[in-house]
Structure 1
Amino acid sequence: MKSQKEIISQLSKEEQLILQNVMTLEQTNLYIKDLKENRSKEKEVIENVVKLIEREIRNEN
């Protein structure tokens, strides 16, 4: 079985560039997806904190 380096080295320069661009695009998409998920989690945490504060304020009154 050929190693990844051997397989890539058999590609033309143009094919290697295309592969590199595709991999970069995929990494970017994964990064964006991760940011969106983290933002959703962050929003959820903030909402929970606000609910806790509101509950405490109601309990004081």
Structure 2
Amino acid sequence: MDRKLLDILVCPLCKSPLIYDKPRAELICRADRLAFPVRDDIPVMLEDEARELSSEETDALYK
């Protein structure tokens, strides 16, 4: 994923910065506890496509 694109992308819901999880090909919003998929290097920034993060996944983000 292009670093410049990552620098300008924000969560479509709360406008928080996103974290790229390369192994899972997801963009993570800590504030909303959502993971947006990245398909073929294209971020899918739709709320309906996002999955909720489990409490374990959220806790791991803060370590």
Structure 1 length-normalised TM: 0.20
Higher strand share: 2
- Higher relative contact order by CA 8 Å / sep ≥ 6: 1 or 2? 2
Higher helix share: 1
